[in-house]
């Protein structure tokens, strides 16, 4: 596979061709980037922003809206929320939030299945989606026991349009198979994500 950004450059500037941009690759964050996000989330500025976002999430459940806006996703087999990129954020703090949420999911015992980045052309804009995907740990249940799915499978996405942050989404999808226990309450997952520290210590 060629260099990701070389492929992107070629896709963007081959004006004679009408191929739609559609590139996808797995990637990794540097250890330093992850540690920076953890330090930010555990610090005063990160704690303040996480607190504000959690407050806005709770207000949204009451049909009230504050900035930055939080959107709630609720269906039979999936629950989640999205956060709009607005003035309170910078590109760096938005990325920190994305990484901090991922570390908090891992701290709950989840296994990271993938981390990928997808570029696609949508309405003459280039949309980039960075996505973590997590699954509960593999378990061997005892006799007459159901498998725990924790909060279900968890995906965390950060979306940018034309290199400008747009929104961040957290989505938990549930197994409906009879082999699995019901998922743990989604509100518990939300509380864990907005805890004051990565390790849930207040």
Q: Which pLDDT score, from 0 to 100, does residue 1 have?
A: 46
Residue 66's H or E segment, with its range, is: none
Q: Is 177 inside a domain boundary?
A: yes
- Residue 6 inside a domain? The answer is no
Please report whether residue 89 resides in a domain. yes
In tens, the pLDDT along 79-128 reads: 999 999 999 999 999 999 999 999 999 999 999 999 999 999 988 899 99
Residue 200 lies in a domain: no
Residue from 91, 169, 86, 164 nearest 125 by CA: 164
Residue 161 has pLDDT above 60, yes or no: yes
User: What residue numbers bound the domain in which 40 lies?
Assistant: 24-193
H/E element, 197: none
Residue 15 CA to residue 48 CA, distance in Å, equals: 46
Residue 37 maps to a domain? yes
Query: Is 55 within 8 Å of 64 (Cβ atoms)?
Result: no
Mean pLDDT of 35-60: 95
Q: Is 14 within the bounds of a domain? A: no
| 74 against 11, higher pLDDT | 74
Does pLDDT of 152 surpass 90? yes
Query: Lowest-confidence range among 1-15, 44-58, 108-122, 126-140?
Result: 1-15
Domain count, the chain: 1
- Helix and strand totals (H; E) in the chain: 5, 7
List Cα–Cα distances, 20 to 8, 14, 15, 23, 150, in angstroms. 11, 11, 11, 10, 39
Tell me what the pLDDT averaged over the chain comes to.
Answer: 89
Q: What is the mean pLDDT of residues 162-183?
A: 93
Position 138 scores a pLDDT of 83
Q: Kindly state the average pLDDT of the residues 154-166.
A: 97
């Amino acid at each position: 596979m060629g260099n990701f950004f070389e492929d992107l450059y070629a896709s963007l500037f081959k004006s004679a061709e009408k191929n739609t941009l559609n590139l996808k690759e797995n990637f990794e964050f540097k250890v330093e980037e992850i540690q920076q996000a953890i330090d930010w989330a555990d610090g005063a500025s990160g704690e303040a922003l996480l607190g504000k976002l959690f407050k806005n999430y709770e207000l949204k459940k009451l049909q009230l809206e504050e900035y930055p806006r939080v959107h709630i996703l609720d269906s039979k087999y999936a629950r989640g929320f999205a956060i709009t990129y607005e003035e309170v954020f910078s590109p760096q703090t938005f990325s920190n939030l994305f990484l901090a949420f991922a570390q908090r999911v891992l701290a709950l015992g989840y296994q990271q299945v993938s981390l990928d980045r997808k570029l696609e052309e949508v309405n003459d804009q280039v949309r980039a989606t960075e996505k973590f995907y997590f699954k509960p740990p593999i378990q061997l249940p005892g006799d007459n026991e159901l498998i725990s799915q924790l909060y279900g499978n968890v995906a965390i996405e950060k979306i940018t349009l034309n290199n400008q942050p747009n929104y961040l989404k957290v989505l938990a999808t549930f197994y409906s198979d009879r082999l699995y226990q019901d998922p743990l309450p989604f509100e518990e997952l939300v509380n864990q994500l907005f805890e004051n520290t990565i390790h849930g210590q207040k």
